[in-house]
Chains A and B, each alone.
Chain A
Amino acid sequence: MGSRAEFSPQTLSVLAALCGQPSAWQHGYALARQTGLKSGTLYPILIRLADRGLVEACWEEEPVPGRPRRHLYRLTPDGLASAATALAEAELAKAEPTTTQVRPGARPRRGRGVAAPVVP
C-alpha cells in the first residue's frame, strides 16, 4: 500500500496537503485551495481515502456563530505512512530521468505518455 501507482496525481496532491500539517484537522475548502481541486473532485477523493482508513473525518464539536459546523479531515497513522511513501516515490520518479529506451531516429509519441493513474 502506498506506492505511487495506487494514487492519482489529484490524490497525491490531497495527501500532500494533509501531510503539510499531519496532526491538524483541515477543512474541505482549505484543502481545495491548497490543491486547486474543485469540490466534485476533492470530496470523492476524501471519501475513498476515508474508506481505506487513510483519512479520518469528524464534525467540528463547537458550533461557530454565523456559519455551519465544518467537516474536518486529517491523516490516520496508516495514512501518514502511506502518504509519506507515495509522495517520496513520486518525488523520486520526478527526479529520475526516463528509463524508456528510444530508438535512434524514432519519432517521439505525442499525447498522454503516462499510464492512467488509479484513483483510490
Chain B
Amino acid sequence: MSWLGPVAEATRRGAMRLVPPVRRDWAEAVWAEAHEVPAGWPRLAWRAGGAVLIAKEGQMGRRIGILLLFAAAAGAAAWGAWPGSPVSHGAAVQSGIIITLALLAGLPLLTRWVLGPPDSRAARWLRAGFYAAILVVLPAQAAIGLFNGAVPRAGIARHIWDVVQSGGVPGVPGSSSGGPDWGGEIAILIFTACYVAVVLALTARRTPVAPATLAIGAAAGLMTGAVMYAVAPVGLNFRYPDRPWHGWAASLCIALAWILVFCAPLAAGVLAGRRCHVPDDPGEASVARAWQGFGAGLVSGGVGALFLTVSGTGTTALLVRSAWVRDWLYHGHYLTASALYGRELYASQDVQGYFLLLFAFPILGLIMGLFGAGTTNVTGPVPDGSGPPGPPGGGGPEPVPVPPDGGRQADAGELSAVGSG
C-alpha cells in the first residue's frame, strides 16, 4: 500500500488547485491541522470537513454545472451535425466536428493558464454567448451543407442544381456531391480557433480590456447584427420581387445597417474610451484608451458578425427543412416546387458569405473602435478622471483590471477546471 500515500497527496494537491488562490491557505490549513487530530475516524471526519470546504470555496457545484451544460450542448450539436449515410464526405465533416469541440473544450484551459479565468459577469456572458453561437452554427451548417450538396435525381431540380452549382460539380444523383473538402474544413477550423482564442483572451482576467468595454461592444454588436439580419436573409433578397420588405421600410433598413456597421463600433470605442479609468501619465492614458477602443470595436464587430451568422445560418437551415419558414420568407405556398427549390439552393449558397462577414466585421470594428477611442484623447475626460460626476456609490469610470502579482503562477493551478465560458 506504499502507493496510497503519493496518490492521496497528488489528489490533495489537485483538489487544492480547484480552490481560488485567495482561499487556498484556508484549505491547506485544514489539511495541516489534521495531523493534530487523533488518527482514525476523528481525523477522517476532520478531512471530510476540509473536502466540504474545498467543494464550497472552489464553487464545485457551479463548475460541475457548467461542465455538464457544455457537455450536453456539445453532444446535442455533434448529434445534430454528425453526417448521415448519404454524405460521401463524412470523414471530413466528422473530423471537423470533433476538432471544433476539442477546441472549445481545450482553449479555455490554455487561456486560463496564460491569462487567467474570466472575472466579470460581462466576460462570462460573452464567452457563453460565443460558445452557444458556435454550437448552434455547427449543426445548422451541416444541414445546409447536406442540402446544398445533395444531387437531385433528375428533371428540373437537377437542372436548377447544375445552374446554381455552376454546372461544374460532379455528383451521383441521389447522393452527396464531390469528395471530402479537407481544405475548406481546415480553413473553417483555423477560423474557429482564432475566433475562440480572441474571445477567450479578451475576456480573461489579465487583459487590459475592462468588463464595461466588453458589455458596450457586445451591445453595439447585437444591435448591428439584428439590423443586418433584418436586411438579409430575412427581408431583402433582391433576386425576388416577393420579398417582405419594400419601399421606405427596406431603404430605412439598409441605411440603418450601413450606418451601424461603421458607427456602432465607433460609438462603442468612444464610449469605452470615455468610461475607462486612465492613469495620470498622458502616454499611459492613451494606451489604456486605445485598449478599450480596440476591445470594444473588436467585440462589436465579432458579436455582430456572429449574431448575423448564427441567425442567418439557422434561418437558412430551417428554411430547407421546415415549410413554415419557407412560407414566411419566400411565400412558398405560392411557388412551384422547382422555384422553391431554386430559392432554397440559392439561400444555402449565400450562407457561405457569412464567413466573409465573420472576417471583415471584426477588422472593421477594431479600426473604428480604435479611431473612436482615439477621439477621446482629445475630447475625453482629463486623466485625473474629472469627467461628468457619476451617481453616488458607484457607476463611475470602470477601472482597467490590473493583473495581480504572480498571477500566472497563481492561476497555473486552476488548469484542471474547464473554462466557464
Interface of A toward B, CB cutoff 8 Å? 27-29, 32, 38-44, 46-47, 57, 59, 67-71
Contact = CB atoms under 8 A, between A and B. Distances in A.
Given A38-B45, A40-B53, A43-B53, A27 B26 contact: no
Contact of A40 (B28, B35, B49): B49
A33 to B, nearest CB: 9
Main SS at interface, chain B: helix
A13 to B, nearest CB: 16
Contacts of A47: 23, 26, 57
A54 to B, nearest CB: 15
Enumerate the 7 nearest inter-chain pairs by beta-carbon distance, A residue then B residue, closest first.
A39-B49, A40-B49, A71-B29, A68-B32, A40-B52, A29-B36, A28-B33
A32 B46 CA distance: 10
Main SS at interface, chain A: helix
Given A38-B45, A39-B53, A57-B26, 8 more contacts: A27-B33, A28-B33, A39-B30, A39-B49, A39-B50, A47-B23, A57-B25, A71-B26
Interface residues of B, number: 22
A59 B29 CA distance: 9
Residue of A42, A46, A57, A71 most packed against chain B (CB within 10 A): A71
A2 B170 CA distance: 81
A57 B47 CA distance: 20
Contacts of B25: 57, 59, 71
Interface string B81-100: 00000000000000000000
Contacts of B252: none
Contact of A29 (B33, B47, B56): B33
Contact of A38 (B28, B31, B49): B49
B33 A71 contact: yes
Contact of B33 (A40, A57, A70): A70
A41 B32 CA distance: 17
Contacts of B28: 71
Nearest to B36: A29
A39 B33 contact: yes
